[in-house]
């Protein structure tokens, strides 16, 4: 029996209730007692005085499907207090493996990936090679669509009846394996060609299973409101919970529209539909350059409308073939190449199709408006391109919400900010014994200094761990001790529990 007691800390239980000073006893990977714990000679003691204890942070929006295999220590997450990553977002799932590989190539160019059979095989692989965080899995609509449609006939069409049946079979395999839901990415190939009916048909397979429909909606700019409405319509028609991915409004002309999309979410919730959105705490996004070139006009001057971006606001994040381009704007590269910024983007793509970029396209006021709303939970949407200049959200999302937005700016109280990354997140994704510090729950625990916690990664220097995180436990095993990684990899696969 292994015992750890954290003494004299301010305990936030993940519900949003204010903290209270007490002890926390961890026994054999579970939380055994919360409150006053009698001294025990066989327990490892962590002095928590002056520090806060919270449930481990749940990153509900990640693209760590293969990072969990290729970088299994997952230090870029657990050193920031994250103990669970939900993978498979934006339509990019881990199975079927042949389809998943083409997506994985963008984040991990040239890396060898293991073979496995379906979502069940992916989960078994992780159980045989555990990472340093827990993994919850979403099936990806884009991956399922790429595998289910005959690619020779192209993807810009509706599936035939037989193809739709085979897509439903792939989703059923995923649900049987224990995925938490289905994600869609309706700006990406091949998901963008799916109509609402196709998505309702697939989401309906999840009805009654407890699995949710998560969506990177069709348009986050000029048609944000209609796109949020579509996601809600799909959830309502299929009778499944809805998770709006990275809630935001892009493009100066669309700033402020999040008030309208939040009103739609409020109305759907008042109607009894479970709807949440996730958010990362920055005014810049990040994605593949290929998708930006396909969705935006890249112009030299100021952008007009949501489908235009200035080359000044588009920055290369990772580019394995030409690392010297990383950190440079498309306008700078255009000047160097002697061409327009959109031609520069094509030139970068022809050199390295897998280039990722950062887009400075959101407003600070919108970030705060969305964060303050009670439908919002926290997800980093980090792209784990560890060798480049990834968006600093990859390492720093949770510390930035707690230190910058909660403590320094006052967007929401500390207990509430913690709930948005723990209890509320576990509730939204149906994780039965996670997200709260309660007896019998899995011992995913973070010990941090509320006065000092802060993000340290910047766009120029993003690969930095946040400050103020002292200890992190995953399933009762310490993965961060006094701010330093222990190298332990106690992560588990978290399967859907209710149905």
The CA distance from 113 to 122, in Å, is: 11
**Closest CB to Zn ion among residues 192, 216:** 216
The length of the chain is: 499
* Encoded tokens for 159: 């599936």
Does 135 help bind Zn ion (rule: CB under 5 A)?
no
Whole-angstrom Cα distance, residue 247 to residue 371? 9
For residues 455 and 370, give the distance between their C-alpha atoms in angstroms, rounded to a whole number.
20
How near is the Cβ of 487 to Zn ion at its closest, in Å?
31
**Residue with Cβ nearer Zn ion (59 or 444):** 59
DSSP structure string for 409-426:
S-SS-HHHHHHTTTHHHH
Cβ nearer to Zn ion, comparing 144 with 445: 144
- CB closer to Zn ion, 79 vs 216: 216
Binding status of residue 141 toward Zn ion by CB under 5 A:
no
Question: CA-to-CA distance for 303 and 292, rounded, in angstroms?
Answer: 14
The Cα–Cα gap between 123 and 386 comes to 23
- Considering only residues 31 through 90, tell me which ones interact with Zn ion, judged by CB under 5 A: 90
Here the tokens at position 379 are 């997800």
From the list 249, 177, 226, 171, the residue with the least C-alpha distance to 203 is 171
Query: Least CB distance from residue 214 to Zn ion, whole Å?
Result: 9
CA gap 24, 11 in Å, rounded: 8
User: How many residues lie near Zn ion (CB under 5 A)?
Assistant: 2
Q: How far apart are CA 200 and CA 194, in angstroms?
A: 10
Q: Cβ of residue 61: shortest distance to Zn ion, in angstroms?
A: 8
106 binds Zn ion (CB under 5 A): no
Residue matched to tokens 């990553």: 85
Q: How far is the CB of 43 from Zn ion (least distance, A)?
A: 43
With CA atoms as reference, report the closest residue to 140 among 196, 179, 106. 179
Minimum distance from CB of 246 to Zn ion (Å)? 6
By C-beta, is 27 or 295 nearer to Zn ion?
295
Q: How far apart are CA 1 and CA 49, in angstroms?
A: 25
In whole angstroms, the minimum distance from the beta carbon of 219 to Zn ion comes to 12
**Shortest Å distance, C-beta 469 to Zn ion:** 26
Q: List binders of Zn ion among 317-346 (CB under 5 A).
A: none
Task: Rank residues 280 and 395 by Cβ distance to Zn ion and give the closer one.
Answer: 280
Q: Is 231 in the site for Zn ion (CB under 5 A)?
A: no
Q: How far apart are CA 247 and CA 307, in angstroms?
A: 17
- 338 within 8 A of 378, measured Cβ to Cβ: no
Chain position carrying tokens 């967007």: 411
- CB 278, min distance to Zn ion, A: 10
* Residue placing its CB nearer to Zn ion in the complex, 31 or 90: 90
What gap in Å lies between CA 483 and CA 46, rounded to an integer?
A: 13
Which residue lies nearer to Zn ion by CB, 90 or 249? 90
Applying CB under 5 A, does 298 fall inside the site for Zn ion?
no
Q: Is 242 in the site for Zn ion (CB under 5 A)?
A: no
For the beta carbon of residue 274, count every other beta carbon within 10 angstroms.
Answer: 16
CB of 322: closest distance to Zn ion in angstroms? 25
Q: Which of residues 205-224 bind Zn ion (CB under 5 A)?
A: 216
Question: Between residues 246 and 400, which has the closer beta carbon with respect to Zn ion?
Answer: 246
Interface with Zn ion (CB under 5 A): 90, 216
């Amino acid at each position: 029996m292994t015992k750890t007691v954290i003494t004299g800390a301010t305990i936030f239980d993940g519900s949003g209730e204010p903290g209270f000073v007490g002890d926390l006893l961890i026994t054999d990977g579970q939380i055994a007692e919360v409150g006053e714990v009698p001294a025990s000679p066989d327990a490892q003691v962590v002095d928590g005085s002056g520090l806060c204890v919270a449930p481990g942070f749940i990153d509900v929006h990640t693209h760590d499907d293969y990072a969990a295999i290729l970088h299994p220590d997952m230090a870029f997450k657990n050193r920031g207090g994250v103990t669970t990553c939900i993978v498979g977002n934006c339509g990019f799932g881990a199975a079927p493996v042949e389809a998943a590989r083409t997506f994985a190539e963008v984040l991990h160019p040239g890396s060898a990936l293991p073979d496995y059979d379906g979502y069940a095989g992916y989960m078994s692989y992780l159980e045989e090679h555990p990472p340093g965080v827990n993994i919850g899995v979403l099936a990806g609509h884009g991956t399922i669509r790429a595998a289910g449609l005959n690619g020779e006939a192209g993807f810009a069409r509706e599936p035939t009846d037989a193809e739709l049946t085979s897509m439903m079979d792939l989703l059923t395999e995923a649900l049987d394996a224990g995925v938490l839901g289905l994600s869609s990415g309706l700006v990406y190939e091949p998901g963008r060609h799916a109509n609402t009916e196709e998505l309702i048909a697939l989401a309906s397979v999840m009805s009654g299973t407890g699995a949710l429909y998560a969506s990177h909606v069709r348009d986050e700019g000029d048609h944000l409101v209609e796109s949020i409405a579509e996601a809600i319509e799909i959830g309502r028609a299929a009778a499944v919970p809805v998770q709006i991915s990275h809630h935001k409004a892009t493009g100066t002309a669309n700033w402020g529209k999040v008030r309208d999309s939040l009103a739609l979410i409020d109305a759907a919730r008042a109607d009894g539909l479970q709807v949440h959105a996730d958010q990362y705490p920055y005014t810049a996004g990040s994605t593949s350059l290929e998708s930006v070139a396909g969705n935006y006009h890249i112009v030299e001057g100021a952008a007009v409308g949501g489908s235009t971006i200035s080359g000044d606001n588009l920055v290369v994040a990772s580019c394995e073939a030409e690392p010297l381009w990383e950190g440079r704007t498309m306008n700078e590269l255009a000047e160097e190449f002697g061409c327009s910024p959109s031609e520069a983007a094509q030139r970068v793509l022809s050199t390295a199709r897998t280039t990722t970029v950062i887009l400075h396209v959101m407003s600070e006021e919108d970030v705060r408006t969305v964060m303050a709303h009670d439908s919002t939970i926290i997800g980093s949407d980090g792209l784990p391109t560890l060798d480049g200049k990834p968006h600093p959200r990859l390492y720093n999302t949770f510390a930035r919400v707690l230190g910058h937005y909660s403590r320094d700016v006052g967007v929401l109280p500390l207990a509430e900010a913690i709930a948005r990354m723990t209890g509320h997140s576990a509730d939204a994704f149906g994780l039965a014994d996670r997200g709260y510090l309660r007896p019998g729950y899995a011992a995913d625990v973070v010990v941090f200094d509320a006065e000092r916690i802060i993000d340290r990664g910047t766009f120029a220097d993003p690969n930095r761990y946040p400050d103020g995180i002292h200890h992190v436990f995953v399933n009762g095993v310490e993965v961060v001790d006094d701010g330093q990684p222990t190298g332990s990899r106690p992560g588990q696969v978290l399967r859907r529990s209710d149905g």
